[in-house]
Structure 1
Amino acid sequence: MNKRQNAIFSISWINSVAVLLVLLLGFSCGASKKLGNKDANLSSTELLVRRMETKQVKAKTFDAKAKIDFRSQDISMSGNARIRMQKDSAVWVTLSKLGFEVARALITADSVRILDRINNEYSVYGLDHLSKEYQLPGNLLMIQQVILGNPFFLSRRFNSTTEGDRYLLSDVGSGKEVKMSIETSALRLRNLQYLEPGATRSLNLDLEEYNATNDKQDFSYLRKFVVDSRETGKVEVNIQFTQVELNVPISMPFDIPQRFKRVK
């Protein structure tokens, strides 16, 4: 692979990292609303939301391997990822192609750092920078909820109906629409749709292939994202987890070699 091909290859992967971060940052902007613990007058929908909260995957640490397929208007790529997280602290991601690591990212409460191992470069962004560039707020805690496959945007404002073996939750207001499809038996989140009509921004997330983790929690091993916005265009990302371990010791090394040049 010549230098020009290296550059194109690396830029594609670095852009893929950036867009993946935007997906996680941008569509994790709605904080979950905890229901009051002592409210004796909860509606049936509020009780359902409370039950969903208790069923969420709980993890102080997360360590996973995954295959990622990424398609946008300009890029179509696939590769392998290692994803780790420490609750309330950081998310760490490496992307590899043909057995070689090409990019590494570290997300903390206030920053995103990206290593480009092909061009020996690194970048540092504030979450607020990515938020302003893509007109989307960022939130580390919600990023971690997305990784775990937990429902987000939970609030008292939901209306609920039942259709077959699914609960259908919807919240329409303040220029945003949120819809969820939940299994009635296991309370698994199967589909989430988020729409901002005024901003021409939408997210569709399917969660499939639920199975038990090492500590017997119910986890979706296949995620299918479709995002469309003015900032990103239409982007499709499939994440197939091949190995998941919760609440095990992890490390998140992120040393920047001296030969690496910082770029904006």
Structure 2
Amino acid sequence: MNSKISWWLGALGCLWLTACHKPRTRSTQSEVLVKTDSVKVTTADSVRVDSLANRAAEEGNKINIQVEEINYNYLLARSKFSFKSRTQNIDNANVNLRMKKDSIIWLSVTGAGFEVARGIITPDSIIFQDKFHKEYFVYDYQQLSRQFNFELSFPLLQSLILGNLPLPREPDQKIRREKDYLLLRQKEGRIMIDNYIGEKNRKLRRLQAVEQPSRNSLTLDYEDFKELSNYLFPYTSLITLDVQSPQDQQYYQTVIRIKHSKVELTDTPPGFPFTIPASYKRK
């Protein structure tokens, strides 16, 4: 993909999620007899008892709570964006963000006092303008999903910006305690996602997931929560991506930080101006 827009996609935190996978021990089913005073027990029986005990303990550790999520009509934000990869380093770019629920994500990047780029994301397509080079780029989600070997969608992008769960929670998905967090594990196709939720505020604090078989991954940490229209909103997001290069098969890391200085939820449409001049070339 053209390097001029690679950081745009990363800026939305839309790519990869990383999960810590613990190897599962396979039970031994050999029928070796163990003599006791009253009964004969096989190792298979022992494994079944241990499995049932572990399952009971796990079920007892599960709790049913409501994860706090942000509901809105329109969102406006002013933000600083930093991006570091093996080929690019962008520090504190100014980004204006506007969103319409389930419909539009609009963003404008300014530098040295003038707008250098603008983008609009809808459920159908992603379009970016490079105003400096007078070029524009058009993508659909199927194309990007193939290119990154990761299933992308508008609801996923929207949720990551808001700090909501990346996937809708199913009725049978339980939350269990794990160290200092409440853990909700979700699976969607090739993606395994671990959502770490704060026990006190019930907000998503960390998201880790992995895509198989590529193992392209992302870790997303939400920080600096502040009150916003009766919600808690994360004013800082730290995104770490580990993506395998198709050229040399090595994994390379990208680190993204988004820090909002002002965020507003409103019922008034802010406008989403976006036109492509006839003189711009499509890339």
For normalisation by structure 2, the TM-score amounts to 0.74
Match of 2:72 among 35, 59, 63: 59
Match of 1:72 among 56, 68, 85: 85
Identity %: 27
Listed as ranges, the gaps of 5+ residues in structure 2 are 18-58, 246-250
Match of 1:183 among 189, 194, 198: 198
Partner of 1:222: 236
1:223-264 Cα shifts (integer Å, max 9, x gaps): 00001111583111000011101124211110112221222x
Q: Which has the larger radius of gyration?
A: 2
Query: Within the alignment, does 1:163 sit opposite 2:163 as a pair?
Result: no
**Residue-pair matches, total:** 232
Q: Is the 8 A contact 2:226 2:235 kept in 1?
A: yes
Q: Aligned with 1:199: secondary structure?
A: coil
Partner of 1:4: none
Residue correspondence of structure 1 range 115-264 to structure 2 within 5 A: 115-153=129-167, 154-155=169-170, 156-158=172-174, 160-164=176-180, 166-170=181-185, 176-196=191-211, 198-213=213-228, 215-231=229-245, 233-249=252-268, 250-263=270-283
Q: Is the 8 A contact 2:79 2:262 kept in 1?
A: yes
Please state how far the C-alpha of 1:175 moved relative to its aligned partner.
Answer: 5.9
Match of 1:92 among 106, 120, 123: 106
Q: 1:170 to 1:103 in 2, by over 3 A?
A: same
1:53-90 Cα shifts (integer Å, max 9, x gaps): xx201111111011011011111112011111111111
Greater per-residue helix proportion:
1
Structure 1 distance, partners of 2:79, 2:267, is 17
Q: Aligned with 1:24: secondary structure?
A: coil
Match of 2:96 among 68, 74, 82: 82
Structure 2 distance, partners of 1:199, 1:258, is 40
Q: Is the 8 A contact 1:13 1:102 kept in 2?
A: no
Aligned letter for 1:202?
A: S
Please state how far the C-alpha of 1:152 moved relative to its aligned partner.
Answer: 2.3
Aligned letter for 1:71?
A: K
Q: Is the 8 A contact 1:25 1:136 kept in 2?
A: yes
Q: Aligned with 2:14: secondary structure?
A: helix
Aligned letter for 1:63?
A: L
Please state how far the C-alpha of 1:26 moved relative to its aligned partner.
Answer: 5.8
Structure 2 distance, partners of 1:90, 1:173, is 24
11-20 or 236-245, larger mean C-alpha shift = 11-20
Listed as ranges, the gaps of 5+ residues in structure 1 are 1-10, 28-41
Aligned letter for 1:205?
A: L
Q: Is the 8 A contact 2:79 2:94 kept in 1?
A: yes
For normalisation by structure 1, the TM-score amounts to 0.78
Partner of 1:47: 64
Partner of 1:39: none
Q: Is the 8 A contact 1:64 1:82 kept in 2?
A: yes
Q: Is the 8 A contact 2:16 2:217 kept in 1?
A: no
Q: Aligned with 2:64: secondary structure?
A: helix
Q: Is the 8 A contact 2:197 2:204 kept in 1?
A: yes
Q: Aligned with 1:119: secondary structure?
A: coil
